[in-house]
Structure formats: C-alpha cells, structure tokens
Amino acid sequence: MNDFGPSPASTRLPHLGLLLAFRTVAELGSFTRAANALHLSQSAISQQVVKLEEVLQSQLFERSTRSVVLTAAGKQLLDDLKVPLEQLIGALNRCSRRNQPPVLHIETEPVISAFWLTPRLRHFTKKFPEVQIQQILSTQRVEFPKQVEVAIKWGGEQWPGFDAEYFLSLNYVPVCSPALLEGSPPLRSPSDLAKHSLLHDRNYQDWKRWHAVYPDEHLNVENGHVVTDSNVLAQMAIEGYGVALCAMELIERQLRSGELVIPFPEMTMRHPLAYYILTRPQHTLSPTARSFIEWLRSMVVEP
C-alpha cells in the first residue's frame, strides 16, 4: 500500500504532458496561471490533471473556488518528480536539439545589459561562436520565464526560490562633462557641488546615501533633474545638465572616451546592493549555461 492507492501504476505510466501539467499547477498554485504558462486552456490543464489522478488512482489536489492545494499524495509526487523530470526534459531537449545551435536565454536588466554585459559579450561569443544569446530584459525584481537558465539581477543577498551567487558590486561617484569643470561656476572642489544641479536616477536615494558618507551642510541633494532611465541620466551629464552620481563600473566607455570625467575620484560610495547570478535550485544547467556563468566570473576582478 502506498499514497497512490492499492494498485501500482508501474504498468500504466502517465504521459509526460500529464506530469508537466501537474507540476506546473503545483508550482504556480493555480490552473489559470498554469494554463497561461503552458499556452493551453484552463479546461485542458484541468482535464490533464484529472487524467493523471485517474491513472494514479489518487487525488493530487484539494480544489476550491479560490485556491488549489496539494494533498499529501500530491506533495509526495511533486517532491519525487523534481529531479527525474528535469533530467528527462533535459535529455529530450538535448536529443531534439543535437543538430541545432545551442541557444542560451538569460534574464537581465536594461542598465547592466547596456553598460556592462553587451560591451563584453563579444568575448564570450568569440570563445563560443556556436552559441546564440537571447537576452530577456526586465525591470522587475525577477521574472525568470521557463526558457531562462541564468539571470543577472540587482538586489540584496536574499533571493527566495533561487540559488544566488554574488556577482558584482557598484561604486558610485559624481561624474560630469569636462566642460563643467571650468564652467561658470567652476567645479573644482566638493564644496562647488552646491552651486550645480544634481542629476538623479529615479529618485533622490543614491545622492542621499552618498551625502551621508560625504556630508556638506550647504549641499541640497533634492535639487536638479530626475529621470527614470540610466542611459538618459548619463547622456544628460555628458550634455552638461549637471552632476550625476554614476557607478564607475557601468560608465567605463564614457570615461575612456572623455565624455565624462570624475572630478573627485576619492569620493566613491559602494552601493549596499549588488548584482547576483540567479539559477533555479535543483535544476541541471546546460553546458552552455555553465560556460556562461564561468565566463561571467572571469570578467569580474574586484579588490
């Protein structure tokens, strides 16, 4: 006797689609969300779960009008399926794609993609020319659609539901157009910041953090322009609209070209948040994803 009824189902193996439907409903806690994730109708998902319950002769979910909750048998099945189902799906994918170029889906944010990842990505594609990279850009904390294997996201140390590896810290410093240094008024000492407009990314928080490290009673950090795009922020600084607080790691090209300068290089502030590499727990990464993560590590050298 076991949790799946008196008659073993060893001779009636369920179709893989039934197992995928069950797993998706169990993980998302909703037939509707599972249907959207699998691009099926809600009734089709429901029928697949019912069929699986018939094959196993066991109820897998407690259903109500507002929620779907796993039974004890459902919890056991979900736990038992996690590793073998991932391995089976991986094996089938490898077999079906053997003659196709590997595609790596990564989720990242527009800022680090534009300023850090994309300028360096040619080094990876030169080393692995057969790999096709698909970047999924998102400003949400984390979305991680099914095709994504690796995400690079900004935040704190805790990432519930994911395996997180510290990747990159950002050091913020005031930057401006070189013309601003000798402008009217000039920008020659930190006290001169009070005479210039400050440029802000989304809100005043970064300048407030910096000001807490380098206090100046004459500096009002809640003045100046606010934009919601880091590309626009850097461009406004280049055009001389004011002084921006930017991460040195993300404006290397503008610093090398001389479009931006750092008037006070000793006045840096390490941001309390950082970028992390996220992967799914208990998920077997493809060789391409593992190579990509190794490459990411090799591109970061921190003191």
The pLDDT value recorded for residue 285 is 92
The pLDDT value recorded for residue 97 is 60
The phi, psi pair for 141, rounded to 5°, reads: -55, -50
Name all domains of the chain by residue range, CATH numbers in brackets: 16-96 (1.10.10.10), 102-303 (3.40.190.290)
Strands (E), the chain: 61-63, 68-70, 103-108, 132-137, 150-155, 163-175, 198-201, 225-227, 243-247, 269-279
The pLDDT value recorded for residue 10 is 47
Q: Which residue has the tokens 């070209």?
A: 257
The phi, psi pair for 231, rounded to 5°, reads: -65, -45
Q: Which residue has the tokens 């009734």?
A: 43
The phi, psi pair for 154, rounded to 5°, reads: -95, 130
Q: Is 23 helix (H, G, I), strand (E, B) or coil?
A: helix
pTM, two decimals, is: 0.67
Give the length of the chain.
303
The pLDDT value recorded for residue 139 is 87
Q: What is the pLDDT along the chain (303 residues), one digit of tens a residue?
A: 345 554 444 456 788 889 999 999 998 888 888 888 888 898 999 999 999 999 999 999 998 877 789 999 999 999 999 888 888 887 877 776 666 788 999 999 999 999 999 999 999 999 999 999 999 999 888 889 889 999 999 999 999 999 999 999 999 999 999 999 988 899 999 999 999 999 999 999 999 999 999 999 999 999 999 999 898 999 999 999 999 999 999 999 999 999 999 999 999 999 999 999 999 998 889 999 999 999 999 999 755
Residue-wise pLDDT tens digits, 37-62 = 888 898 999 999 999 999 999 999 99
- Letter for the amino acid at 78? L
